Amino acid sequence: MYTIDNKSYPCCTSVTMKFIGGKWKAVILHHLIDGARRYNELRKSIPTITERTLSLQLKQLEEDGIVDRKVFTEKPPLVVEYELTGFGRTLLPVLEAITKWGEEAPVISKKIIRN
């Protein structure tokens, strides 16, 4: 049994999914693998996510210590960048495995059509 923020998780897999589970978290993290990205860059690179969902997921990833948010206010316009923290970088092997599986799955499954 594991506990995070006073919530119990039955196994290590559920702990991992707490941090990267759901439809968008792993996708967002995948786009941060190569380094910091501005909010608008993330928004454009994930066209099917709504602004509200992206904002909420980034906030949750930041609260979980996976993503760091930096605000640059030296000159207008305001620039906000997101990047993986050291803790977030520990997820790289998991994200790379998810990516690899996603690349190979269309070859194996007739259900998946790559456009």
Beta bridge partners of 13: none
* Per-residue pLDDT tens over the stretch 75-112: 788 889 999 999 999 999 999 999 999 999 999 998 98
**R_g over Cα of the chain:** 16
Integer Cα distance of 4 and 6 in angstroms:
5
List the domain boundaries for the chain.
2-105
* Per-residue pLDDT tens over the stretch 31-66: 999 999 999 999 999 999 999 999 999 999 999 999
Residue 43 carries which side chain, given as an amino acid letter? R
- Residue 73 clears pLDDT 90, i.e. is over it: no
* Per-residue pLDDT tens over the stretch 8-18: 999 999 999 99
- Predicted local confidence at residue 79, as pLDDT: 87
C-beta of residue 25 within 8 angstroms of C-beta of residue 49: no
Integer Cα distance of 45 and 74 in angstroms:
26
Please state which CATH number belongs to domain 2-105.
1.10.10.10
Predicted structure pTM score: 0.88
